Amino acid sequence: MVIVMKPEATEEQLQNVVTRIEELGYKPHIIYGATRNVIGAVGDERGKFILQSLEVMDGVEAVIPILKPYKLTSKEVKREKSIINVKDVAIGGDELVVIAGPCAVESEEQIINTAKAVKSLGGHILRGGAYKPRTSPYSFQGLGKEGLELLKKAADIALLPVVTEVVNPEHVELVCEYVDILQIGTRNAQNFELLKKVGQIDKPVILKRGMAMTIKEWLMSAEYILSEGNMNVILCERGIRTFETATRNTLDLSAITVLKEETHLPVIVDPSHATGYAKYVPSMSYAAVAAGADGLMVEVHPQPEKAFSDGPQSLNFNSFGNLVAKLKQLSWMMARL
């Protein structure tokens, strides 16, 4: 249910409603708006009509059922776009955000050189995997904790915020010590225990789309994170499985426009995992921006031909520089800054 407060409602009245929601066994989530505040009350769907009784409380204008199955994620609760701030970067604001870095952290030299290049060429956030979810148990699995340490060192040197993937609920606290944003990958997009765990932290989460997930299922996964209290979720379209084999996955650009209708959360696109080939990354990046993406996540490596993972889809520094330069022009045309 959404409890809509009157524009003139006081903070005390708001807190009284929050207390009453808790007494009724539901979880309140206050969403402060420009003109009025609302409280999303979530919990057991079966008895939710008990919340209708809040309508008589001081300061309450209306109590409205949320029709969508994803509640806090939907625009029914929050109409304005969510802007997620990470250090001095705003994701979901006017500026297109570019996240870049290697698939995996491989060595100190590799990640520091990449971080410096990403920064100097106009990227905003560094990426790099320390725990790699690989299809084969015999493939490089990532450097683990050492990878986190190197990632943080590189990010600090380049003065960039940094994101890395977490694959295990038991690693969440450790990963939080080193990075600014946590990523949930496609293979874990319905790992509900992991989603609940990252819902309890105070760092933003990039939630990739499961490779066989509908948009609705994806938003339900986001709801797992939001319902635990973490409202800072960024959705990342990274391609889905189809019958097509010319590309690694099929980039679902229409997901961007659907998500913009359905949710207030920022939407970014990963053209690297979507296509699997560096030569297709620029055109799909431009298409994503034209379709309204708030940002891009691209794989960049100093020597893609020598990468431990995902070399064929990784851009070298030169191609990344060209991409960012063109994105700047395109952002301007799309009335982004």
Helix (H, G, I), strand (E, B) or coil at 216: helix
| Region of 256 on the Ramachandran plot (φ > 0 left; ψ -120 to 50 alpha; else beta) | alpha
Task: Tell me how far, at minimum, the Cβ of 287 lies from ligand PEP, in Å.
Answer: 18
Beta strands 97-101 and 125-127, pairing class: parallel
Task: Tell me how far, at minimum, the Cβ of 206 lies from Mn ion, in Å.
Answer: 13
Contact with Mn ion (CB under 5 A) among 38, 97, 103, 234: 103
In 136-288, the DSSP E strands lie at: 162-165, 181-184, 205-208, 233-237, 267-269
Task: Tell me how far, at minimum, the Cβ of 234 lies from Mn ion, in Å.
Answer: 17
Indicate the length of the chain as a whole number: 337
Per-residue contact flags (x/-) with ligand PEP for residues 111 to 150, judged by CB under 6 A: ------------------x---------------------
119 binds, among ligand PEP, Mn ion, none (CB under 5 to 8 A by kind): none
Contact with ligand PEP (CB under 6 A) among 71, 264, 273, 301: 273
Q: Who's near 314: CB < 8 A, 6+ residues apart?
A: 102, 103, 272, 278, 299, 300, 301, 304, 307
Task: Tell me how far, at minimum, the Cβ of 15 lies from ligand PEP, in Å.
Answer: 40
Instruction: Return the bridge partners of 99, or none.
Output: 125, 297
238 binds, among ligand PEP, Mn ion, none (CB under 5 to 8 A by kind): ligand PEP
Beta strands 60-64 and 89-91, pairing class: unpaired
- What token pair was written down for 296? 């891009």
Question: Interface residues for ligand PEP in 83-112 (CB under 6 A)?
Answer: 103
186 binds, among Mn ion, ligand PEP, none (CB under 5 to 8 A by kind): ligand PEP
Of 174, 175, 155, nearest to 165 by C-alpha is: 175
Contact with Mn ion (CB under 5 A) among 180, 262, 294, 310: 310
Question: Tell me, what amino acid is at 246?
Answer: A
Nearer to ligand PEP, 62 or 212 (CB): 212
Residue nearest to ligand PEP (CB): 185
Binding site for ligand PEP (CB under 6 A): 103, 129, 185-186, 208, 238, 270, 273
Binding site for Mn ion (CB under 5 A): 103, 310
